[in-house]
Each structure stands twice: as C-alpha cells, then as structure tokens.
C-alpha cells in the first residue's frame, strides 16, 4: 500500500508542476490508478492492470463503498476519453481538461476517505 501511496503523491506532484496538458492528464490518470490500488490493497485486493480498475471496483464494492460507481466512471473518463484527447491526440479542449481534473479530484477524495 505504501508504494502505491508514494506513486500517487509523485504523479500528483508531476501534474501540479507541469505546464503540458498532456502530462497533467497522464499524471492525473497514473495518480488515480495508484490511489485506487492503495484502497484495494487495504482490502488485500490487487488490481494490477489499469484497464481492469472499473470492473474490479464494481466486483468489489467494499473497496470504495457507496462511491464505487462515481469513482469507476471518473476513472473510465480519465482512461478512455481524457487520455485519448490529450495524450494520444491533440483534440482536448479547456472543458475537457477541467473535467479530467474534476475526475481526478473525485477519485482522490474518495480514496482519501477510505485510507484515513
């Protein structure tokens, strides 16, 4: 769990320091992944692959409780939409970046609650 928390802080800091929207989005995605993995590790569950995160959260709702769907949807947005627009393409707009940041903040908040 501590390794995931260290990675979470590292990637979150990278997003805060970067001026590149692509780096921000990828860093938010990676930070979110590690925050979720830390929550899962608290329940002795290891997801290990980012594309499995939403499915594993939904299969194991004890990880995040009543915020499971909200976090799974936010993670899907970061993984499948925001990364496609900013990291792999150049089509991201300011509103997309705002939604990506909000998605990250949703995941961060839920995970902080679980890890207290």
With beta carbons less than 8 A apart as the criterion, state whether 61 and 68 touch. Answer: yes
- Give ∠ CA 34-39-45 in degrees, rounded to 5: 95
Averaged pLDDT score across all residues of the chain: 96
Q: What is the pLDDT of residue 86?
A: 97
- Number of structural domains (the chain) is 1
pLDDT digits (tens, 9 = 90+) for 19-75: 999 999 999 999 999 999 999 999 999 998 999 999 999 999 999 999 999 999 999
**For residues 15 and 101, what is the distance between their CA atoms, to the nearest angstrom?**
10
CB atoms within 10 A of CB 32: 28
Question: Could you tell me if 85 and 98 are in contact, meaning their C-beta atoms sit under 8 angstroms apart?
Answer: no
- Residue 111 · residue 36 · CB < 8 Å: yes
Cα–Cα distances (Å) from 68 to 21, 98, 99, in that order, read 27, 21, 18
Q: In which domain, by residue range, is 47 found?
A: 2-115
């Amino acid at each position: 769990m501590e390794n995931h928390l260290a990675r979470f802080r590292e990637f979150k800091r990278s997003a805060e320091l970067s001026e590149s929207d692509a780096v921000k989005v990828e860093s938010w995605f990676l930070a979110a992944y590690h925050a979720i993995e830390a929550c899962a590790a608290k329940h002795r569950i290891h997801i290990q692959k980012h594309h499995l995160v939403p499915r594993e959260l939904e299969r194991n709702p004890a990880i995040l409780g009543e915020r499971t769907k909200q976090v799974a949807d936010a993670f899907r947005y970061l993984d499948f939409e925001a990364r496609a627009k900013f990291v792999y393409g150049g089509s991201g707009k300011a509103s997309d970046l705002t939604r990506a940041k909000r998605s990250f903040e949703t995941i961060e908040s839920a995970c902080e609650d679980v890890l207290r």
